[in-house]
A and B are shown apart, each in its own frame.
Chain A
Amino acid sequence: MAAISLDRLSKRYGGNPVLDAVSLDIQDGEFLTLLGPSGCGKSTLLRVIAGLESQDSGGVAIGGVAVDGLRPKQRDVAMVFQSYALYPHMTVAANMALPLKMRRLTLLQRLPIVCRLLARTRATLRQIEEDVRRTAAALEIEHVLDRKPGQLSGGQRQRVAVGRAMVRRPSVFLMDEPLSNLDAKLRVTMRAEIKELHRRLGVTFVYVTHDQAEAMTLSDRVAVMLDGKLRQVGRPLEIYADPAERRVAEFIGSPKITMIEARVGEGGQVHVGSRLLPIETAQPPGSLIVLGIRPEAFTLVAPGAEGELLAGRVRLVEHLGSDLYIHLEGAGQAEPVIARLDAAQAPHIGIGEQIHLAVHAERMLLFASDGRRIRAATDRRPVAVVSGLRAAARAEYAR
């Protein structure tokens, strides 16, 4: 049993808040990913959970027990570091045996030679060796047990680091960007292996990354962290399709979401420039709001068609096999608008061409000018159409 509970954790480095009242409940056996840009405090949060760093205020509980005063080794957590942090002077076997030796042998028993002589120590050492071999076999690194870390490939080092964490069967696994030192192909392979490892061990994983693809594919839940605050915690799909605030929407998703300024008119009508959108909002008339539109929410329409939202000149076309990414400029936006279109639907688009895009009301994300999500947007069309579109949106993301 190792659920983790973080209660209003805060930490400052020299006056700069690095963690700001972080509260989070991680369930036993859950795979939770901390996702955020570089420098947002992910590693710091992980190190606080591990006990390598102490918080200024707030509390950490693991398995229902407050662990704030406990040293890392007393918390029953294992950690995989971005650099792997293998001991370069020890063989792979010795690296993996160390956590066991530290726990099962006394200081006296660990002394070289002297205590090899005692029968009980010998038996313990044999048991440790056996455990190491079993773990190594599970990770397919048995054949490198006698090598030093310097003689291993990146992927092998990564496995050894995982092995060292795994060997003593901790109830919590903490991983700090364990794949970021691998090449792209190996990263995808190891990603699958980590997922498999989690399934097999069934223990709690807290995984830090700034790679969205990793977060989306591995996690049960993703916690998005920006500037030391948890902005949103939810299932991967939820974070993408239903962001809680503008910055989360902008951080998640590649290519980036398009943000379009809109004005609230009489009776909650929403205008973009001179166009009236088929949605209503409860925001006060005259206020400014922002529409967020994912690239795949755009559809290509004929000029002047109903529901047309914007028009612009094509600056760049990226072919990705079944899809196209179209970069539009001059659509009344400072940044180019990026739309993802079906290649079959738009086979002939060339650079410099003027095209027109529409967006279904259901797929517009509304944000207040302070970045808060506005959920009260109501569609003015019949309900049946809306739910059909919702299903379409699901299918779109799942692709």
Chain B
Amino acid sequence: MSAVNAPSYDASSRQPDGIRQVRALPRRRPGEVFAAVALAGPAMALLLVLFILPVVAIVAVAVTDWQFGTRSLNFIGLANFRAIFADDIFLASLRNTAIYVSIVMPGTVLGGLAIALLIESGDSLRGFYRAIHFLPFMATLAAMATVWEALLHPTIGLVNNTFAAVGLPTANWLRDETTVLPVLAVIGIWQNLGFAMVLFLAGLKSIPQDLYDAADIDGADQWLDRLITVTLPMLGPIAMFVVVVVALRAFEAFDTVQILTQGGPGHASELLLHTLYRESFEFLRAGYGAAITVVFLVIAITLTLIQARLIDKRVHYQ
């Protein structure tokens, strides 16, 4: 979570150099090797059991025709991968996921930032607003989803009634192919907004007042100038972290789909994790599901790597 820390301002922590130095040390004595193994061993073992072995198993299953529960399996090479990339449902799911992430991620980040700036600029009821916006993140979605379902109900839902009252078009939001994905995305934003907001608030708190004073003296004392000169750049590292974490969370969206739409109507709200779940545990096509999982993992790991790179290289002002 080092990314959540305040952008290191003035004090210079030259971590990358330090690591390089350790690596460059000359050969070690046997005692040191033993100590190193003893210290790193438990973590390595856990990593192996909880992450590396399952990934290896998934990749292994992905190149077979294993059906969940059966005793026989055959090696079929990349056939599963060829199959999923020829499968309209999987491709639709991939496309939907991309659209979903590209709405939820910017929506959450910008919304969270805006709310954090608003809360920070006001004096009263800060704690109250913070709590209100953080609630959706804490609440179980299973319970909240029923509320959303009621709100979006085509005839008695509050949304349609309100829209009708002010003369806006109404819709059967969760049963309409064109609206279902955007509506799920809005719920996704609502879910993650508090998380982004809390991180941005922490970031805003850690900006030294001196910088704002300096900006005042230098003439950057309008709202927009302060934002551009001090606030946004100083939030850089945290913004990076929020972007990637929210992207990952959006990418893993499952519960809203499962509870509200089951991927329907048609496959209009089919998201990757939901497709994966259905193939593996409803249709019991383990090999096929594993191939989807591999694709899923590749995307997730890529996002994480991008985060690590960007945070180290771009936004730590060293």
B9 and chain A: residue at smallest CB distance: A88
Q: Select B221's contact among A71, A78, A84, beta carbons within 8 Å.
A: A71
Considering the chains assembled together, what is the distance between the CA atoms of A151 and B14 in angstroms?
10
- Which of A1-15 touch B at CB < 8 Å? none
Instruction: Assess the B9–A73 pair: CB atoms within 8 A.
Output: no
Instruction: Assess the A103–B318 pair: CB atoms within 8 A.
Output: no
What residues of chain A lie closer than 8 Å to B123, measured between beta carbons?
A: none
- Which of A131-188 touch B at CB < 8 Å? 148-151, 157, 164
Instruction: Assess the A81–B318 pair: CB atoms within 8 A.
Output: no
Q: Select B217's contact among A50, A83, A88, A157, beta carbons within 8 Å.
A: A50
Instruction: Assess the B213–A52 pair: CB atoms within 8 A.
Output: yes
- Report the count of interface residues on B (CB-CB < 8 A): 26
Considering the chains assembled together, what is the distance between the CA atoms of A73 and B220 in angstroms?
8
Count A/B pairs, Cβ under 8 Å.
79
Is B264 engaged at the interface, CB distance under 8 Å to the other chain? Answer: no
Instruction: Assess the A72–B233 pair: CB atoms within 8 A.
Output: no
Instruction: Assess the A72–B217 pair: CB atoms within 8 A.
Output: yes
Is A79 engaged at the interface, CB distance under 8 Å to the other chain? Answer: yes
Instruction: Assess the B218–A98 pair: CB atoms within 8 A.
Output: yes
Considering the chains assembled together, what is the distance between the CA atoms of A89 and B239 in angstroms?
14
- Chain A interface extent, by class: 20 to 34
- Which of A50-73 touch B at CB < 8 Å? 50-52, 71-73
A174 and chain B: residue at smallest CB distance: B217
Instruction: Assess the B318–A102 pair: CB atoms within 8 A.
Output: no
Is A383 engaged at the interface, CB distance under 8 Å to the other chain? Answer: no
B301 CB → nearest A CB, Å: 29
Is B211 engaged at the interface, CB distance under 8 Å to the other chain? Answer: yes
What residues of chain B lie closer than 8 Å to A52, measured between beta carbons?
A: 213, 216-217
Instruction: Assess the B318–A150 pair: CB atoms within 8 A.
Output: yes
A13 CB → nearest B CB, Å: 15
Is A107 engaged at the interface, CB distance under 8 Å to the other chain? Answer: yes
Considering the chains assembled together, what is the distance between the CA atoms of A151 and B10 in angstroms?
9
Instruction: Assess the B217–A87 pair: CB atoms within 8 A.
Output: no
A347 CB → nearest B CB, Å: 49
What residues of chain B lie closer than 8 Å to A102, measured between beta carbons?
A: 218-220, 225
What residues of chain A lie closer than 8 Å to B10, measured between beta carbons?
A: 83-84, 86, 88, 149-150, 157
- 13 intermolecular pairs with C-beta atoms under 8 Å apart: A71-B221, A72-B217, A73-B221, A85-B208, A85-B213, A88-B233, A88-B234, A88-B317, A99-B218, A102-B219, A107-B224, A150-B318, A157-B10
Other 12 A-B pairs with CB < 8 A, given A87-B214, A89-B233: A50-B217, A73-B216, A79-B214, A86-B10, A88-B233, A88-B234, A88-B317, A89-B234, A89-B236, A98-B218, A102-B220, A164-B218
Which residues from chain A sit less than 8 Å from chain B, CB to CB?
A: 47, 50-52, 71-73, 77-79, 81, 83-90, 98-99, 102-103, 107, 148-151, 157, 164
Which residues from chain B sit less than 8 Å from chain A, CB to CB?
A: 7-10, 12, 208, 210-211, 213-214, 216-222, 224-225, 229-230, 233-234, 236, 317-318
